[in-house]
Every structure is written in C-alpha cells, then in structure tokens.
Chain A
Amino acid sequence: MIEARGATVDLGGRRVLDGIELAVSRGEWLTVLGPNGAGKSTLLRYLAGLVRGGGELWVQGQPGAALRHREWARLVALVPQTPVIPASVTVVEYTLFGRAPYIPLFGVEGRRDLAAVHDALARLDLLEMSQRVVSTLSGGERQRVLLARAIAQGTPIMLLDEPTTALDIGHQQQVLELVDRLRGQHALTVVSTMHDLTLAGQYADRLLLLDRGRMVAHGKAADVLTEANIARYYGARVRIVRDDGEPVVVPYRVRNREPTH
C-alpha cells in the first residue's frame, strides 16, 4: 500500500502538486486523471521517490523520507511513459535490469535473479522472444517487456505512467488486462496515469482527478467521470453514456451551421 498526506512539490518556483491526499491499499488500482500539465506524472515521480517535496509519504507502512534508493526500488516499480531503450539490449537483459535493487553493487546476478527474470518473461509470454533486441519490437511487445521488468523487480507497488499512450485500441486493452491479471496474481498495488477516460474508468477501482496540481475529484468512476467535471477541467464537450452502468465518455462536436463561402 502507498499513502500520501499533503503531498506538495515545487519545481522551478512553481507549485506542481499541492496538498495531495491519497491512500491506495494492497491489491487496489488507482488511476490519476487530469489535463496536460495537471501534475499526473509529477505525482507518480513523487511516489517513486524521484522528486522530493513537502507532506508525508508512506510506502508499505514505511516513511518515504527514511528509505534509501535500493529499499525504495524493492518496494516501488515505475513503468515510465517514454522509456529509454538502449540500443542492442535484449529482452532478457532489459528484464534483468529489474533485479538491480537485489544485486550487490559490484556483484553479478545469481540464480534467484535469473529465475525471477524467467518467471516474469513466462508470465508475460515473452520467453520465445527473450533474445530479441528490445528496440526492434513493436509497441505492444515493448510495453510487455516494460511490464516484465517491473514484475522482475518484485515490488508490492507498481506505478504506470500512461501505459497505453503509444498503443492501438486492441493493444491498449491487452496491456490493461495484463496489468489487471498481474495485480490479481501478485496482489499488486497499482497507481497509473491515463488519458483515455473510458478505459481508466473500466480498469481502475478508483479515479483521482487532478487540475493544476490540486485534487478536484476523487472516487468511483461514476462520480468522477461526469460531463461537468470533464467540461470544467479538460475544457471538452462530452456526453457520458452508460454501458452496463459504467460511464463511457463520448466526445461530440458542435457543427458550425453558418454557410461557408
């Protein structure tokens, strides 16, 4: 579980996060929404220990301020939005990076690390392509490799920054289903950011809407994904339709009816 109380982050003299309160328990999935620049990525970076700020952060019941780099890396895995994939790194090698917090600084991986990598690759159906070079894979395959690295990291908490951004609709669903399955298998605490509001509502247990660094809505999808919220914070014209009780966000267009010249 991960818990932030009054999380506040200033970057370059600007308040990027302001008094965020969140608590995500074991096995729960929270998705953070918000327009561009709302502070979603910064919130994930704060939870990952990459930016420090005000407020209290508790990671698996331990105060974040007292955690060292490696300890943090054993508790929280971050799947970045735009990962840097070094040229010529194979799927195995990339997944093995996830074991870094367990390998002594000057040591090399042991049998347990390789077994963890094997297990992660097997879970994500990547064993067949374990010797392929990551940078040559398709977007969907690459996203699976990123998840494999996070799984190999063996953390109770997984942060996903826009995990579906570069994917087509089919692969978006595949990746989110995969995250959901892994969450079930490992009782993972998942915090993600997402742009697709409908998908966010379908997969997360709870949604948190940010605007200019502040929490403006928080709760079940039906409570957060309202026409009023989306109009106000995204400046978007949408209709919410219900599909089996779940909100589906449908954008619409106001046609200009004046005759064209």
Chain B
Amino acid sequence: MPGRADLPVPSSLGVWWLVGGVAAVVGAVVLSLAVGPIRLSPLQVLRELLWFDNELTNTEQAVLWQLRLPRATLALLVGASLAMAGAGYQGVFRNPLADPYFLGAAAGAGLGVTLVIVAGGATTSLALPVAAFTGALAAVALTYALGAAGGQRMSTTSLVLAGVAVASFLTAVQTYLLQRQQDNLRQVYSWILGRLSTAGWREVVIVLPYAVVTMAILLAHRRVLDILAVGDDEAATLGVHPRRTRFVVVAVASLGTAAAVSVSGLIGFVGIVVPHTVRLLAGGSHRVVLPLSLLFGGAFLTLADLAAKMVSAPAELPIGVVTAFFGAPFFVLVLRTTGRAIP
C-alpha cells in the first residue's frame, strides 16, 4: 500500500472556504444585531453575546435578545434550509433550474395560506405557518404520487412534469379564491413576498427541528449525490439506489422548504442563486456545494433581511424583493466573471 501522502485526493471542502463561510455567517449575524433604530456597535454585540457583560441598558438587551437575535437566527435557518434544499433538488433532478419550489411547494403553501385568510382564520398567528407547511408538503406529496405513477424509466422527467401540473392547478385554485375575495389580496400577497418581521423565538422553535433534520440528512447524502450525476443506470451498477436516494432527498428538502415557507413566506432566489454561486466559485462536488450552501445561504438571507429592514426604514420591504434585487445582478456578475460552465 502506498503511504497516505501518495494517495490521490478527491476534491473536498477547502479550509479557507469553510473559514470564509463561517466568517460570513458570524459577520452577517453581528451586523444584523447591531444595526437598527437602536444602534449598537459590533463589539458591544459580541461582548454581550459571548461574555454577558452587562454594559447594555435593559432596553438594548431586550431589543438584542428578544427582537434581533431571534430574527437573525430565523433568517439564518431559513436561508440555509432553502439554499441546501435547492442544491439537493438540483442534484437529484440533474437540473440547474430546480429550486426548493420545484415540485409545487410554493403553490401548495400559497393555496394553504389563501384558504386560511379567505376563511377569516388569519387572526391567530399560528394558523398561517401551519397552513403553509401543510399546503407545501401536500403539494409535493401529490406531485410525487402523480410523477411516480409515470413509470420507472421516466421518473425524473415525469416528476418534473407532474410538478408543473400540480403547481398550475393549485395556483389556479388560489387565483379563483382571491378573485372572489378581493379584500384579502393584500394580506395574501404580503405573505407571498415573504417577511421575517414578526419573527420571535417561537418561530425559531418551529423551524429548528426541521432545519436540523434537513441539513443533517442532505449533508449525509453529499457523496451519493455526486454519484447520482452519472445517471440512474450507472449509479445502480455502483450499488446506489437512484430512486430511493431521490425519494429521501426530495422528502427532506421538501420538509425543510415547507418549514422555511411556514415562517417566512415565499422567498425566491436563495435556493437557486446560492448553490450555483458556490458551484461556480468553489467547485461542483456536493461535498463542497452542500456545506457552503448552508453557510452562505444563511449569511445571504441574514444580510438580505437586514437590507429589507433598513433600505426604506421605518417601512420594511418584502425580503423576496431584496433577495432578487441583489441576488440577480450578483449572480450575473459571477456567471460572467468565472466563465465556467454550470454542471
């Protein structure tokens, strides 16, 4: 056997990328804790977080711990879940356009929320997240059931087509309901565009278990997702179960997406731009894409939320507007400067 040093090495997550990702997360969180109507210095924030130095006034402490920290945490969890779910979907479908809402999760969540609002149930704060969550999961389950009925050989394409059909159908139902109840349009659209403004620790607790499960299971699939890129047949001769793998990845990615959607509304762009940017800059292996999507997805959404809060303060922009407004030009820049083909 050759010595360890002589062995060939597959690409892996570079230390500097990891350090950069963690730094981005820490930087984004500290910044979003410091900036606001009550301005704190990043140093004050760090000292308060790490040593519990009682330098801050009671009001400042309350703002930090009860308003800003849960909101930043939630942005981190939602961004990380969406970016990883997007990377997972792109991997199992070998489709660069796949995003967390690929199989109808957005349409399902939208219909769920519309139903609750139209039924007048929006007064309780828990009803919307539950409706969004249920709607998203039900839509994906329906897509899967329809797509899987299309037979074995065509499973990827038939799933994608089933997703298109389910999404159009659910959107049609939602539009019909909204046409009949025009008073609620604004409420529904403000939800659809996404917001984290009402976030508290309760929302964090709702999302946390799903986000952790999604991240852990997707990360565990990083090696298998790379193998899946050679196609179902070849993957099968290498001992991988393509259909089982696809099912598990779709299931956990959808769970994470539904949980994110339930507290944040529909935030577009994160699930597609973050994984692709990572792919272009750091490499195409899922060993790199998944962990870095987690970190940079979280950091990106935390900063986007900060911008949503600050740009036209005291009014807040929908966060989906911010992610697209900054995400799109940045992505085009990356695409043009690297000149690399997207795998």
Contact with B along A94-122 (1 / 0, CB 8 A): 01111011010111110100110110010
Task: Specify which chain A residues have a CB less than 8 angstroms from the CB of B233 in the assembled complex.
Answer: 45, 50, 80
Closest to A159 in B: B237
A86 at the interface (CB under 8 A from B): yes
Bound form: Cα–Cα A89–B4 in Å: 22
The verdict on A105 contacting B224 (CB below 8 Å), with A72-B239, A78-B237, A88-B283 known, is yes
Closest to B238 in A: A100
Task: Specify which chain B residues have a CB less than 8 angstroms from the CB of A74 in the assembled complex.
Answer: 239
CB pair A100–B239 under 8 Å, yes or no, is yes
CB pair A73–B237 under 8 Å, yes or no, is yes
- Decide if the interface of chain B is mainly helix, strand, loop or mixed: loop
B2 at the interface (CB under 8 A from A): yes
CB pair B230–A97 under 8 Å, yes or no, is yes
Q: Which residues of chain B in 186-241 are interfacial with respect to chain A, using CB atoms and an 8 Å cutoff?
A: 220-221, 223-224, 226-227, 229-231, 233-234, 236-241
Task: Specify which chain A residues have a CB less than 8 angstroms from the CB of B8 in the assembled complex.
Answer: 92, 95, 114, 117-118, 121, 127, 130-131
The verdict on A86 contacting B239 (CB below 8 Å), with A92-B8, A105-B224, A121-B8 known, is no
CB pair B234–A73 under 8 Å, yes or no, is no
CB pair A101–B239 under 8 Å, yes or no, is yes
Contact with B along A68-97 (1 / 0, CB 8 A): 011011101110100111111110110111
B11 at the interface (CB under 8 A from A): yes
A4 at the interface (CB under 8 A from B): no
A residues near B, CB below 8 A? 45, 48-50, 69-70, 72-74, 76-78, 80, 83-90, 92-93, 95-98, 100-101, 103, 105-109, 111, 114-115, 117-118, 121, 127, 130-131, 153
B10 at the interface (CB under 8 A from A): yes
B341 at the interface (CB under 8 A from A): yes
Task: Specify which chain A residues have a CB less than 8 angstroms from the CB of B341 in the assembled complex.
Answer: 87
Closest to A153 in B: B238
Bound form: Cα–Cα A93–B11 in Å: 7
CB pair A98–B238 under 8 Å, yes or no, is yes
B15 at the interface (CB under 8 A from A): no
B38 at the interface (CB under 8 A from A): no
CB pair B234–A78 under 8 Å, yes or no, is yes
CB pair A80–B9 under 8 Å, yes or no, is no
Bound form: Cα–Cα A63–B237 in Å: 17
CB pair B10–A96 under 8 Å, yes or no, is yes
Closest to B8 in A: A92
Closest to A93 in B: B10
B143 at the interface (CB under 8 A from A): no
Closest to A109 in B: B10
The verdict on A84 contacting B230 (CB below 8 Å), with A92-B9, A121-B8 known, is yes
Bound form: Cα–Cα A76–B234 in Å: 12
CB pair A115–B343 under 8 Å, yes or no, is no
Task: Specify which chain A residues have a CB less than 8 angstroms from the CB of B43 in the assembled complex.
Answer: none
CB pair A69–B236 under 8 Å, yes or no, is yes
B315 at the interface (CB under 8 A from A): no
Contact with A along B301-343 (1 / 0, CB 8 A): 0000000000000000000000000000000000000000111
Task: Specify which chain A residues have a CB less than 8 angstroms from the CB of B6 in the assembled complex.
Answer: 118
CB pair B240–A115 under 8 Å, yes or no, is no
Bound form: Cα–Cα A90–B2 in Å: 20
Task: Specify which chain B residues have a CB less than 8 angstroms from the CB of A69 in the assembled complex.
Answer: 236, 239-241
Beyond A103-B223, A108-B223, 13 additional pairs, beta carbon < 8 A: A49-B236, A70-B239, A72-B237, A80-B233, A87-B341, A92-B10, A93-B11, A97-B227, A106-B220, A109-B10, A109-B223, A111-B4, A131-B8
Task: Specify which chain B residues have a CB less than 8 angstroms from the CB of A95 in the assembled complex.
Answer: 8
A52 → B minimal CB distance (Å): 11
A70 → B minimal CB distance (Å): 4
B7 at the interface (CB under 8 A from A): yes
Task: Specify which chain B residues have a CB less than 8 angstroms from the CB of A87 in the assembled complex.
Answer: 284, 341-343
CB pair B230–A83 under 8 Å, yes or no, is yes
Q: Which residues of chain B in 97-124 are interfacial with respect to chain A, using CB atoms and an 8 Å cutoff?
A: none
